[in-house]
Amino acid sequence: MKDFKTLEIWKTSVKLAIDINELTQCFPVNERYALAMQMKRCGVSIASNIAEGCGRRTVADMRQFIHIAIGSSFELETQIEIAYLSHYIDQDIYKELLSKLKTLQKRMISFLGGLGIRY
């Protein structure tokens, strides 16, 4: 349907996934297979669902996968909050990640608007 690699929401989500992957390397050992792994999965899920939606035959299918990507972004937002409150990340990193994530969420919602969906 669309070349997902040309979409800004996909490019941004891949960069965010890489940021999350690098960030979680510094988490305590006991969290590397719990919160850290969940955060990595969410980061990858956002980009992957955008790509999968673009590979579907109908706009309705694409919308569904963008909705899933948005859901994963809110899940990641919660996990970033937990990491911050658990003192695994400092306030500057916390604010930077939330800013990137909020921008991505707005862009995905705007993308849905272009597909004829009001969020």
Q: What is the pTM of this model?
A: 0.89
Residue span of the structural domain in which 65 resides: 4-114
- State the total domains in the chain: 1
Q: pLDDT digit string (tens) for 43-102? A: 999 999 999 998 888 888 889 999 999 999 999 999 999 999 999 999 999 999 999 999
Answer yes or no: are the C-beta atoms of 11 and 110 closer than 8 Å: no
Task: Strands of the chain (E only): list them.
Answer: none
How far apart are alpha carbons 17 and 11 in whole angstroms?
10
| Count of beta carbons in the 10 Å neighbourhood of residue 77 | 16
Q: Is residue 65 part of a domain?
A: yes
Q: Is residue 119 part of a domain?
A: no
CATH number (domain holding residue 14): 1.20.1440.60
Question: pLDDT at position 58, please?
Answer: 85
More confident site: 118 or 104? 104
Question: pLDDT at position 116, please?
Answer: 63
